[in-house]
Amino acid sequence: MFNTQHAKNKDGSVHVILTGALDAAAAERFETELETLLAEGVLFLVIDMENLHYLASAGLRVLLSGAKKGKKQGMEIVLCSLQPLVFSVFDSAGFTRIFPVFKSREEAHKSRHKGLPA
């Protein structure tokens, strides 16, 4: 079961918490949500994966596509709190070179004005 929760901050950034499994069935829904955020003109998006226990290739594809569209529209996407298994998939797909990944949501939000993690 896949679920998302959004929280808009005063500075215009959005915090999205992903819960469950981002598999082929959930990917289309997540893609639509990303597109909605793009259409709303969000400029800083934190994707919180603390409660995400499975990330399939379909989910990675949506993230890759989202990174491309976000780049075009000036939206920065950062990720935080990845579970070890999810991080392993994420890293093996080479996505750590595309997305800044932070250990906590606080670090992720702070990064907005500080740049990429070391």
| Residue 36 engages another protein in binding (rule: CB under 8 A) | no
Q: Which is nearer to another protein, 40 or 91 (CB)?
A: 91
Q: Which is nearer to another protein, 93 or 105 (CB)?
A: 93
- The alpha carbon of residue 110 and the mean position of all alpha carbons in its chain are separated, in whole angstroms, by 16
- Residue 37 CB, nearest distance to another protein (Å)? 16
- Residue 56 CB, nearest distance to another protein (Å)? 7
Give how far Cα 99 sits from Cα of 10, 25, 38, 90, 94, Å. Answer: 23, 23, 17, 10, 10
Give how far Cα 21 sits from Cα of 67, 74, 117, Å. Answer: 20, 28, 26
The residues that bridge with 4 in the sheet, in sequence order, are: 18
Which position among 61, 83, 87, 105 is part of the footprint of another protein (CB under 8 A)? 61
Report which residue type is found at 3: N
- Residue 89 CB, nearest distance to another protein (Å)? 7
Which position among 67, 87, 105, 112 is part of the footprint of another protein (CB under 8 A)? 67
- Residue 106 CB, nearest distance to another protein (Å)? 27
**Is the distance from CB of 108 to CB of 79 less than 8 angstroms?**
yes
**What's the count of helices (H) and strands (E) in the chain, helices before strands?**
4, 5
Give the footprint of another protein on this chain (CB under 8 A): 56-58, 60-61, 64-65, 67-69, 72, 89, 92-95, 97-98
